Amino acid sequence: MKIEYSKKIKQLPPYLFAEIDRLKEEYKSKGNEVISVGIGDPDLPTPDVIIDALNSAARDSRNHQYPSYDGLLVFRQKISDWFIKRYNVTLSPQDEILSLIGSKEGIGHFPFAFVDRDDHVLVPDPGYPVYRSGTIFAEGIPYYMPLLKENNFLPDLSAIPNDVKKSAKLMFLNYPNNPTSAVADESFFKSVVEFAKENNIIVAHDAAYNELYFDDNKPLSFLQIEGAMDIAVEFHSLSKTFNMTGWRIGFAAGNKDIIKGLGRIKSNLDSGIFQAVQYAAIAALENYEQLNRTNREIFQKRRDYACKRLDKLGWKYLKPQATFYLWIETIKGYDSKKMATKFLQDEGIVVTPGVGFGQAGEGYIRMALTVDVKILEKVFNKIENIKW
């Protein structure tokens, strides 16, 4: 029997991080040491208060049945309380918050609720690959918005053609941004609200890195902007904020009709989040201030060290005000794949080629600060040994 993949699958490039893992394992299989600073998976342990809450809830047999599709009301209430305290935004836990099996799952499913065949979806380039793949699975057409250095890595909304604006149903945004680490200001967010209302476009803002900021420069929630609740939802993740990447829990918040649409998709495709994990997430949010402060202090030390070493090398890069990524310009004579390959082949260092996030990512590599300062020191010592 001949196995034939769908046209949608054939449109997808190899998933970037799966390909990085493959190359890393291939290099390791030859007996070589590998240090990965390529994937945004925090190396820090999940805090004990969260683990203890999971342990207690997992021993309660009432949590071993199918959970609510929307998420426990007590979990959604805790999210609502946190939103008021962190952003001064009031959300109804009943119909303006939806639990997710990690924000990636919600983002990937989101286009199914609003995008029909050949509708345009505005996708940042470079950007998290799931914006593109979710659009393709929903049979939409990605329209790529270049994030360029000269525009502070913000999309130029005025450059979007009129015919695309007319057929666009959805816009993905992500600030603080992966992979560039750029942060959006209030003025830009206001222009997005105006643009979306003028063109009847839903905004999906991915805020996975909102709580990983430096120098006490707190990023905005898109929902803080006047009028945003009319046209937008925001995706949040507990993965980076609380070192819970493997736990798979996040949430969407915003316009109740948009939330309802995503909820209808999810109720047909999954059965919710294990309730014990939701109780662990409640413990995380209850201890947000201390846990988040500790995380940020650790990553700021790593950022400061890495920036000092990059300055010594004389390489050009964007100094991050948030996220744990460094967006580094490639050196003369190398594109992003060639430079990343040389890192791996010469010194066993895994970084991510910028082109893997989209064509506008060419000319950059991304380095993740997800290793200890001592390992970063080893990484940069190895980089200094590379002959370019």
CA distances from 356 to 62, 98, 188, 289, 360 (A): 44, 30, 26, 35, 10
Which residues have CB under 8 Å from 326's CB, separation 6+?
Answer: 181, 303, 306, 307, 310, 317, 318, 320, 366, 367, 368, 369
> What confidence tier does 306 reach under pLDDT thresholds 50, 70, 90?
very high
**Cα–chain center distance at 288:** 19
Q: Average pLDDT of 130-153?
A: 97
Q: Average pLDDT of 271-291?
A: 98
Which residues have CB under 8 Å from 60's CB, separation 6+?
Answer: 276
Q: Give the pLDDT confidence score for residue 22 in this predicted structure.
A: 78
Classify domain 49-288 at the CATH topology level.
Aspartate Aminotransferase; domain 2 (3.40.640)
The percent of residues above 70 in pLDDT, for the chain, comes to: 99
**Cα–chain center distance at 50:** 22
Residue 17 has pLDDT above 70, yes or no: no
Q: Give the pLDDT confidence score for residue 321 in this predicted structure.
A: 97
**Of the ranges 16-30, 75-89, 301-315, 323-337, which one carries the lowest mean pLDDT score?**
16-30
Report the distance separating Cα 136 and Cα 115, nearest Å: 10
Q: Average pLDDT of 346-359?
A: 94
**Triad 240, 242, 244: Cα angle to 5°:** 75
> What confidence tier does 21 reach under pLDDT thresholds 50, 70, 90?
confident
Question: Is the Cβ–Cβ distance between 259 and 95 less than 8 Å?
Answer: yes
Classify domain 7-45+290-385 at the CATH topology level.
Aspartate Aminotransferase, domain 1 (3.90.1150)
Residue 116 has pLDDT above 80, yes or no: yes
Give the residue range(s) of CATH 3.40.640.10 domains in the chain.
49-288
Q: Average pLDDT of 161-171?
A: 98
Residue 16 has pLDDT above 70, yes or no: no
**Of the ranges 30-44, 129-143, 223-237, 247-261, which one carries the lowest mean pLDDT score?**
30-44
Q: Average pLDDT of 118-136?
A: 97
Between 7 and 179, name the one with better pLDDT. 179
Q: Give the pLDDT confidence score for residue 339 in this predicted structure.
A: 95
Average of per-residue pLDDT values in the chain: 96
Give the residue range(s) of CATH 3.90.1150.10 domains in the chain.
7-45+290-385
> What confidence tier does 241 reach under pLDDT thresholds 50, 70, 90?
very high
Condensed to tens digits (0 to 9), the pLDDT of residues 173-225 reads 999 999 999 999 999 999 999 999 999 999 999 999 999 999 999 999 999 99
Q: Give the pLDDT confidence score for residue 342 in this predicted structure.
A: 92
Q: Give the pLDDT confidence score for residue 164 in this predicted structure.
A: 98
Q: Give the pLDDT confidence score for residue 15 in this predicted structure.
A: 66
Condensed to tens digits (0 to 9), the pLDDT of residues 357-366 reads 999 999 999 9
